[in-house]
Structure 1
């Protein structure tokens, strides 16, 4: 019998660093590799971790997520939604507290703004084998101050964890995947807000360490992408398309396709060069343009444009724009001719 039967996914945040693309959708619904970020995460949990019982914590523009995934049946999942009210307590710990009554055994926690190429099943197996209270997926990072930072001994036992330190005690950081025993809720309920006004999950983990319980770090090889900025959308798109390959769901006319690309349904592509690593959302129209390393959301018109390493929102109308690293929000209209 599988020991870890449920996954908790936190998808309630505003995504303020991803403006203007999160003005009309939660960041977890931004498309990369032809699907919303959150869908990639859910399918990973289903296919790699073999877990289909999902507790999904939602908040900002929750209806967008709930309407898309429903009860999860169409995705081979059983999803129960927990709402984190945006005027309530802030922080990962506050979000996790909301699911306490739904948890009776060890569970996974997955932060929905992360995508993984690593085999996280090995993290779960390590947790079970060591009978740990907490197991953290970790990696080495050149800028650890952005993350929760851990210190470990030679046996991968965590001796200290601190949130976003100005002077990091190591370069080992928590990614966005954890395995917990239900004991974590005892320590979550002891927390007070941090100096930045949030209930920090790392503070609860530190309390577990200080109680003498087993907290482990598990470093598994494979890519991981934290999606916090527009450039991360492009990086995630390239990671995923490298795995998925080319998907074309619309007719093209007199176009050069440089793989890999994703072209959604109902698109009209004419006299253009598309790719590599270009994602075109459904219903978009691309005419006499060159697009590479670029993500275009649904129902946009791109005419006589040359775009590289760019993110273009939904329902945009662009004509004559020639730019590297363009960031164009939904409903924008730009005419450079």
Structure 2
């Protein structure tokens, strides 16, 4: 999670993208918890690969430590000092690369229910897609083993797209191969890639299987993050496992059209919220209509008609635009 999330600016200018809330929880918190559900086994350690300490500071470390400890695990914090690709990022966590492990990119959310194949040396999680030519996909043999990774194939290879979550029965095997990649300075696009380590494992005869997820939701830019927020709210409402509207929310001549998430201490006056809206804590929204939107904490909104809006923390907004994207500490009155 060391990247700066430039496609999600202005929101990622002040908050690291994996910590931006979707449906009331930071992206990386939801991802880690969902992976834990799929694994169905105790987790001993969670390693987080962060970037510049000036941006990924103590507050980020504290949030991630709390996340890991909440799952009964130790948190290990690593820093990727240069943006040199996925393989380089993984090797930044070298002291933790032993035994069974999951490696995941922290800007995606999933819904999945499957058992890890005990015969596999590795499982690459995939999603069936309608347009595989737009993705990196896996090539399978007759035994349904993965034998090749193909990036944006021009001719049909398979419809199983790689989503960026991997399981290794012994991740030290990947570590050894990525060390070879670094030592030999094997780069693609100017970066060291996890795929080059995986391909070397395949060449050694290691067995790779697919684990197919039911839902794969991206948080790469504003539009897809809003779509992910809406889909996740729908899933959470159906699951009925989380309280989505805090008991302290104040409704004054206002209406909530579910599914929505509304945080502690938020006040709605003469306002209709929903569907598919997430609002953080201690917000005030007056004389407004808000739907299909994501609003963070301690923000005041008046006289607005918002649809497909994404608004940061400590914002004051009073205006007529609908499809807005406003970063933290912005005032528009």
How many residue pairs were aligned?
Answer: 316
Paired residue for 2:163?
175
Structure 2 distance, partners of 1:70, 1:305, is: 38
Give the secondary structure class of the aligned counterpart of 1:62: coil
CA contact (8 A) 2:47 2:78 kept: no
Tell me how far 1:91 sits from its aligned partner: 1.2
Aligned partners of 1:17, 1:197: CA distance in 2, in Å?
Answer: 20
Residue 274 of structure 1 deviates from its aligned partner by 0.5
Q: 1:82·1:98 contact (CA, 8 Å) conserved in 2?
A: no
Q: 2:72 is matched with which residue?
A: 77
Q: Deviations over 1:10-59 (max 9, x none)?
A: x2221111111100011001011111111112222344423432122222
Secondary structure of residue in 1 paired with 2:112: coil
8 A Cα contact 2:229 2:276, kept in partner: yes
SS in 2 for 1:190: helix
Which of 36, 39, 43 is the aligned partner of 1:52? 43
- The 2-side partners of 1:290 and 1:274 are apart by 6
| SS in structure 2 of the partner of residue 282 of structure 1 | coil
Q: Is 1:113 matched with 2:117?
A: no
Q: For residues 281 and 160 of structure 1, what CA distance do their matches in structure 2 show? A: 43
Q: Distance in 2 between matches of 1:329 and 1:316?
A: 8
TM-score, normalising length: structure 1: 0.86
Counterpart for residue 7 of structure 1: none
Match of 1:211 in 2: 204
Task: Say if 1:71 and 1:79, in contact at 8 Å, map to a contact too.
Answer: no
Query: Any residues of structure 2 matched to 1:1-337 within 5 Å, and which?
Result: 11-49=1-39, 50-53=41-44, 54-60=46-52, 61-63=55-57, 64-70=59-65, 72=67, 75-86=70-81, 88=82, 90-119=84-113, 121-122=114-115, 125-126=116-117, 128=118, 130=119, 132-144=120-132, 147-163=135-151, 169-180=157-168, 181=170, 182-191=172-181, 192-220=185-213, 222-245=214-237, 246-248=244-246, 249-323=248-322, 325-335=323-333
What does the per-residue CA deviation read over 1:275-313, in whole Å, with 9 as the maximum and x for residues that have no partner? 111111111110000001111111111100000111111
Aligned equivalents of 2:47, 2:211: Cα separation in 1:
23
> What do you get for the CA RMSD once the two structures are aligned?
2.2
User: C-alpha separation between the residues in 1 aligned to 2:95 and 2:190?
Assistant: 25
* 8 Å contact from structure 1 (residues 287, 302) kept in 2: yes
Deviations, residues 79-124 of structure 1 (Å, cap 9, x unaligned): 32232233x35111111112333233121112221111112x52xx
Unaligned runs of 5+ in 2: 238-243
CA contact (8 A) 1:262 1:280 kept: yes
Aligned-pair distance for 1:213? 1.9
Pick closer, same or farther for the CA change 1:166–1:25 going to 2, 3 Å.
farther
Q: Distance in 2 between matches of 1:13 and 1:81?
A: 18
Q: Structure 1 residues 295 and 264, CA, compared in 2 at 3 Å: closer, same or farther?
A: same
CA offsets per residue over residues 207-248 of structure 1, 9 Å max, x none? Answer: 11222221222324x111122111222122122211223423
Shift of 1:253: 0.8
CA contact (8 A) 1:72 1:79 kept: no
- The separation in 2 between residues aligned to 1:143 and 1:66, in whole angstroms, is 38
- When residues 44 and 201 of structure 1 are mapped into structure 2, their CA distance, relative to the original with a 3 A threshold, is same
Shift of the 79–206 alpha-carbon distance from structure 1 to 2, 3 Å rule, reads same
| Contact residue 247 and residue 263 of structure 1 kept, 8 A | yes
In 1: Cα distance, 2:294 partner to 2:192 partner: 35
> 1: CA distance between counterparts of 2:155 and 2:327?
36
